Amino acid sequence: MQGQRLLKLLSKIPRNGSTNFLSPKFVLKTYSNPFHQHHFSEISTLSRSHLWKICNPNGVSGKIRNGVLWSNTGRSKFPVGVHTRRNFHSFDSHNRGWRSVSRRLTTDGVVLGLIITNVAVFMVWSIAGHEFMVKNFMISVDNFTSGRLHTLITNAFSHKDMSHLVGNMIGLYFFGTSIGHTFGPQYLLKLYLSGAVVGSIFYLVYHAFIASSVQGNRMFGIDPSKVPALGASGAVNAIMLLDIFLNPTKTILFNLFIPVPAFLVGIFIIGQDVWRSLQGGGQVSGSTHLGGATVAALAFIQSKRGRFRRF
């Protein structure tokens, strides 16, 4: 009944085909929908080209298409708009907040932020207890099965010594800056985190199902599932190899002083990590690096299809 009264009231409005909006003083009614807890105020402020719905507490009573109100009781031609006032924070508002923050990101800011975070975690190693850091900033099958899922990411901000840290940060700075300028700072941050997570997953799968069968990996009677790892190598590998895939002919200073074509460096890096994984053991995790290489390959394929912004 309320919907019918609403339609009758609207039908009394003078029809004027040249009018795109009603007087601002004309406000129909404000009411609360008990099913959705939304507050609606119908005001005629929208153009004819919009499609809107007239709602009542019992559901939808009509639709407006190009200035015509369609309902079970007939139609009335006039422009009507529905203005919605919500009494809660919607999911869209949170998305808009994140987009607002992400638009303020810069490539230099993301690179610097990642470097500072890595340095900060490195310093925490000298302050916090060793057991705490091993459980929360290193990846291992034992940590993962114990419910410490955050180590999938936190291990990628942790390093064992200064040379380990400096080597990864140099690669992050040069290749990260290149990727950021090509695809944007948001993409760079997502690529780093994706390389970290996928690298950790590769490490877990390798040490849970493969490492024990590889000759020489069970050295000194250590259970592979309890061997922890740390480092940003998987994340940096994703960034570095994507830049190499995109620019295979550019020159890279291998070890900071030997000029080498980028594609040769890429072949060397991937080949070395495959060899490490097949040999097992060693202090460098080839499986983690290969996880980063997989992310780089997928990102490269997406970029060629013109879909890198969805990454």
Question: Is 233 annotated in the active site?
Answer: yes
- Residue 80 in contact with residue 69, Cβ under 8 Å? yes
Inter-residue contact 167 to 158 (CB < 8 Å): no
Say which amino acid occupies 251: T
Decide if 39 is catalytic. no
Largest Cα–Cα distance in the chain?
Answer: 91
Phi, psi (deg, nearest 5) at residue 54: -95, 125
Residue 39, classed as helix, strand or coil, is strand
Place of tokens 């309902």: 71
283 token code pair: 């202090």
CB neighbour class for 191 (10 Å; exposed up to 12, middle 13-18, buried from 19)? buried
Q: Which of 233, 277, 285, 303 is labelled catalytic?
A: 233
Strand partners, 46: none
Which of 277, 287, 289, 303 is the catalytic position?
A: 289
Active site residue ranges: 233, 289
